[in-house]
Structures are given as C-alpha cells and as structure tokens.
A and B are shown apart, each in its own frame.
Chain A
Amino acid sequence: MTSAISLDEQAVMPTAPRPARRSIAQLLPSRSPKLVVGLSIAGVIILWAIIGPLIVGNPNAISTSMFQTPGTAGHLLGTTQTGQDVWSQIAYGTRGSLIIGFSVGIISTVLSAIFGILGAYIGGALDETFALFTNIVLVIPGLPLVIVIGNYIPVNQRGLFLIAIVLALTGWAGSARVLRAVTLSVRNRDYVAASRVSGEKTWRILVVEILPNLIPVMASQFVFAMIFAILGEAGLSFLGLGASNSFTLGTILFQAYNDLALTQGAWWWFVPPGLVIALFGCALSLINFSIDEIINPKLRNSTRAVRKKWGLSPAQIRQLDEEQIK
C-alpha cells in the first residue's frame, strides 16, 4: 500500500514542483538530433538482435547453393561457401555480439566504479593502491593479453560469457581512471563537505550526494565499454579465439575470411557483419556525443546549429561566427 500512496502523491504533485521538472527536461537533451539518430539506430539493431533469431531460419543449415549472390532464391543476403544463409547468420551474430557488449559494459562499469569511485572517495593508502593498480592494468596491452588467456582456455569451455569476463577484466581501467578524476573533483565540493559535517553516513554521501553527479560519466563509460567489447570480440574471433558454438559478428567474419570469401569476391558475406558493427558503434558514439554535451555545456552552446535556434537571421549568425572565428 505504501508504494501505491507514494505513487499517487507523485501523480498529484506535478503542479507544485514545476521547476524540478523543467530542470530534468533541461538535463535530457531531447532535441539533440545526435541523440535521436543514435538512439534510433541502436534501438533498431537491439530490437533486431532480440527478434531476428526468432524469425530467421537455422543459421547452420547447409545447402548446395553456395556463394549465391544476394537476393537469389530466398537468401536476402546470399549464401556462404557451404550454402548457409548469411541473413540468418547475421541475426544470430548480432545477438551474440550484443550479449557480449552488454555483459562487458555491466561488468567493467562495476569494476571501474569499485576501483575509481570507491578508492577516490575513501582516499589515503587505498586510493593510492587502487590508482596504481588501475594505471598498471591500463598500460598492459589488452588484446594481446586476451589472446594469450583465450588460447589457454580449452575450446569447449570458451563460451560467450567467459569471453565477456575476459574482455571486461582487461577493459575497465580506462573508465576507472576517468571516474576517479571526476570523483576527486566532486568530493571536494562544498555541499559534500556540508553533508559530512551534518553527520551523514559515508555510504549515504557516496550514493545520494556523489553518485548522481557521476551518472552521465558512467553512462558514457558504459557506452564506451560496449564499443570496446564488440570490437574486441570481433578481433578475438577473427583470430579464431572467439566463443565456440555461438554466432557473433566476429565469428562470421572469421569464417568468411578463412573460407576465402575475399578471393571469391563474396562481398555479401563479410561486408554486412562489419557494417552492423560500424552502424552500432556509430550509434553508440552519437549517444556518447550527446552525453558529453550534457557533462560539458561548453560543447553544446557554441555550435552553429544551436545559434540558429536563437532566432537570429543568417546574417547575424555569420557575423557571430566571424566575431568568434578569427
């Protein structure tokens, strides 16, 4: 019952806290075309990864119609060397790659939060140790390490999630360093000191006072980790060290390359998987751009597109440009 009441209260209240709502609306860059385009492309690809495998045929089904060009005999994107349908493979591959992307995003965000935020907030020897550890992980090259680890894991144990864990373990350090820097600057602000003086508990200061300020940065790091993971997995799979018995966009590219799609000119086999990765990565980058513009308003205020919205005439905009640009 209590939850229902609190919900009702929120429903009744909107007339009073209008400024609060407006500030949330300001925080969300709803009119940013970058965000809209990014979210739409990412949304379509995520939706396809969920629904696609349910409606396409078996990606492993081989047939005698090999190296069919796109559009022939029910094969929307042609067939592979063994007559498998590329379109079905891509549906499954997109799902595999996205599972890896999301898992790595979550794991490495948690890891970077522990090493970045916690260390920086508590400070002292713990912070020094965490920072040193983070920097060491950062300078040790990730993919070669993943390749070495991947090669020691027997093929039958090399599942999607294991690959995700290995990628996350080598990829969290960059975000941890960014989060540490932001946390250090937030924890020294006056309002944090005020809540400390007023006797708030440590965890409460961390969760209620500091964490909300870090959410945009964490979101952007999450998106970054996803791009890193999908690209890393593709590279790993391309070297033949990817997840066994599951489709990812990387394993499709690996098969295409090894079955001489390049020499056969079977572009429909290796161009689309890369395009999906590129599109998804691009969409995530666009989302990251708009998050950056929330974090750093300087990036958002001075573009030509924004100036147009001020209702100035083209001549005035040109003049403004010339004043700003020498």
Chain B
Amino acid sequence: MPPGPGFVKESRTVQFYLKKLVFYVVALWAAVTLNFLIPRLMPGNPVDVLIAKMGATGQPVTRQTREALAIALGQGNSTNWFVQYGEYINNLVHGNLGVSIVDFPASVTTVISQALPWTICLIGLSTLISFLLGIGLGVLAGWKRGSWLDNLIPVTTMFQAVPYFWLALILVLLLTRLTHFFPFAGGYNVYGGLVPGFTPQFIGSAVYYGFLPALTIVLSSVGGWMLGMRNMMVSTLSEDYILTAEAKGLKPSRVRLTYAARNAVLPSLSGFAISLGFVVAGSIVTEEVFSYPGIGQLLWTAVSNDDYALMQGIFLVISVSVLVANLVVDLLYALIDPRTRARS
C-alpha cells in the first residue's frame, strides 16, 4: 500500500530537520577542528611567546617551565597531530578546556561560565529587540513608500556604517561623562552590596547598567534589518497575490502582515547568519568599552595577557552559541515558510 500524502509530508519535514541538523553537526566539527589547527598552523608558538614574556620580566625560565607550559597549553608530549587531536577532542567532550592564566588556577570552563550569562542576555535581548524593531519599521516603511519613515532609512544605515565601539565611546562621553545619566562601567552596582541572583534589586541594577551597551547594539544593527525588510516589502507588494488579496477586500492590516510581511521577512531570516556575525563582532568590542563583565571583555583580557587557552575556549564558546542561534533561526524559517519543508 502506498503511503498517504500525510505520511509523505511528515517524512519530508523530518528529512528537512535532519538535513539541518547534519549541517550544524558538520559546522560544529569544522569550528572545533579550526580551533585545533590555528595554533599549530600559525608562525608564532604560544610557548615561545610566554617564555619571552617571563624572561623579560625577570622570572626564572628553565626547561621544566617550558615543558609545563607546553602541557598547560594542551600541546602535550606527543608531537603527532593525530594523537593531539584525539586528546583535544577527549578533553572537549569532558568539558576540559585547560587552565586560565589570567585567573590562575581557575579552569577556562569556570571563567567562561561566569561571563557567558552576561553576554547571552545582553546580545540575545538586544538582537531580539533590534530584529523586531527593524522588521516592524521596515514593514511600515515599505508599506508607505516615500513617507517620512521611509526617508529615515539612509540615516539608520549611517549608524550601521559606524563602528560599534565608536558609537559606544560617543555614548559614554555624552551620557556618562558630560551628563551623568548612566554608569560608565560594569554589569551591575558592585558597591551597593548586591549579590547576583534573581532579586528585583539585582535585575534592576543589571538592566540599568546594561542599557547603554544594549542601546549601542540596537542603534547599530536596527538599520540593516529595517533596510532589508523595507526593500523586500516593496518587492513583495507588487506581487499579483497582493493585488488579489486587495481585490478580495481583505483588511489592509491582514494584507500587510499575513500576505506581504510573512513573505518579505524570509530573506531577512536566511541572511540572519551574516547579520549575527556583525552583531557578535561589534558586541565583543562594545563590551570592552563599557567594561561589561561578558565574553567580549574576557576575550580582550585573554588577548592582552596572552592567555591562549582562555582565548581558544572563548572562540569555541562563541562559535557554538552562534551555531545554536542560527539553528533556532533556521527552524523558525521552516515554521514561517512551509515550502522549505515540502521542497527538501
């Protein structure tokens, strides 16, 4: 007996999700392997760099120091890359990313896990706000072509062409130095005796301290979403099915959202990976300006202190987070556009 149409549809859906999952597993493997290869392919040897630094500060350097450093940096005793790769993967599976030099003797995993929630909240929330705001404004601008909102778009793209950290510097100058509306550094009021936790005082303080970094990210990224959405809205609105929908006498709001916006938002979603790359890159540097206790600030600390284990751990964590975010968006895409499921 041939399978019915319902069965076919279901298996296609499963196939689609399976395909996506396989892709992200491959991408994860690529990121992990890249993280393994970079230190080995680059001209500079981290052990040499650290030895040179220790020598310069007058610390005693012996053969044992060198060996200890090599082990600490995960180079191990073996010179065989395959053996090293095996050890590396094994360590990763057990969540062992090495020992941080900056916060010696804390493990890289501990150091990162303290900073990660800050960044995920900051970037996650501000990206979400920026995405929703940009898409919403883009829908309106595309719907009312030539309106004041539409003419505002070149201004918002100017914010996009500004380096995040420079915008952050300007905001710091204007809102914390010249006028004292906001605190200029930190993630919450450290001196107020606040303990991180789900208390209203702490969350209030965290929101207050996180406002400027979030504003920077939203201001810089909202223009891109808005422009993309506006252009797709304009293209979509000239489609025949929009005319049909109007001819049927549907309410304008229904035509706008269910007919035009749902189709127009698809390229924005499929381009999410590119935009997210920009946001993550910008936020790393922004955190540094605001001394925000997140991953970006930590990465900067790792870089300026030659903490290679921490740096690579951070790269891995950022990669995984970005992959997860993209996976979520891909699944959302399939939800909005049933054709992807049917076609695959």
Contact = CB atoms under 8 A, between A and B. Distances in A.
Interface stretch (A1-9, A85-93, A294-302): A294-302
Taking each of A153, A235, A267, A292, which has the highest tally of chain B beta carbons within 10 Å of its own beta carbon? A235
B280 A144 contact: yes
A239 B300 CA distance: 7
Interface string B30-65: 110011001100111010010000000000000000
A280 B150 CA distance: 22
A114 interface: no
A140 B311 CA distance: 16
Given A152-B38, A235-B164, A302 B234 contact: yes
Interface string A275-293: 0011011101110010010
A140 B31 contact: yes
B157 A138 contact: no
A104 to B, nearest CB: 14
B40 to A, nearest CB: 10
Interface string A139-177: 111111101110111100100000000000000001000
Contacts of A147: 284, 299, 303, 311, 315
A221 to B, nearest CB: 11
A289 B154 contact: yes
A138 B231 CA distance: 23
Contacts of A234: 163, 165-166
Interface stretch (B110-118, B140-148, B188-196): B140-148
A141 B280 contact: yes
Chain B at the A interface: SS class:
helix
B319 interface: yes
Contacts of B177: 262-263, 265
Given A235-B164, A302-B145, A153 B280 contact: no
Contacts of A326: 252, 255
> Secondary structure of the A side of the interface?
helix
Contacts of A307: 146
Interface string A244-287: 00000010010001000011010100110110011011101110
Interface residues of A, number: 64
Contact of B42 (A149, A257, A324): A149
Nearest to A177: B274
B323 interface: yes
A286 B172 CA distance: 28
A321 interface: yes
Interface in B287-322: 288-289, 299-300, 303-304, 306, 308, 311-312, 314-315, 318-319, 322
A136 B38 CA distance: 16
Contacts of B274: 138, 174
B160 interface: yes
B163 A304 contact: no
A142 B275 CA distance: 11
B273 interface: yes
A138 B319 CA distance: 11
Contacts of A284: 161
Given A139-B27, A274-B166, A282-B158, A298 B284 contact: no
Nearest to A289: B154
A278 B43 contact: no
Contact of B277 (A142, A241, A324): A142
B15 interface: no
Interface string A298-326: 11001111010000000000000100111
Contacts of B38: 148-149, 152
Contacts of B31: 140
B23 interface: yes
B342 interface: no
A141 B43 CA distance: 22
A234 B164 CA distance: 10
Contact of B303 (A135, A151, A270): A151
A298 B280 contact: no
B235 A296 contact: yes
A121 interface: no
Contact of B43 (A157, A262, A273, A277): A157
B332 interface: no
Interface string B167-184: 101101100010000000
Interface of B: 23-24, 26-27, 30-31, 34-35, 38-39, 42-44, 46, 49, 143-147, 150, 154, 157-158, 160-167, 169-170, 172-173, 177, 231, 234-235, 238, 252, 255, 271, 273-274, 276-278, 280-282, 284-285, 288-289, 299-300, 303-304, 306, 308, 311-312, 314-315, 318-319, 322-323, 326
Given A139-B273, A282-B161, A289-B154, 17 more contacts: A138-B274, A140-B31, A140-B319, A141-B319, A152-B44, A153-B44, A228-B278, A253-B169, A262-B173, A274-B170, A277-B163, A280-B161, A302-B238, A303-B150, A305-B146, A325-B145, A325-B147
Interface of A: 34, 132, 135-136, 138-145, 147-149, 151-154, 157, 174, 227-228, 231-232, 234-235, 238-241, 250, 253, 257, 262-263, 265, 267, 270-271, 273-274, 277-278, 280-282, 284-286, 289, 292, 296, 298-299, 302-305, 307, 321, 324-326
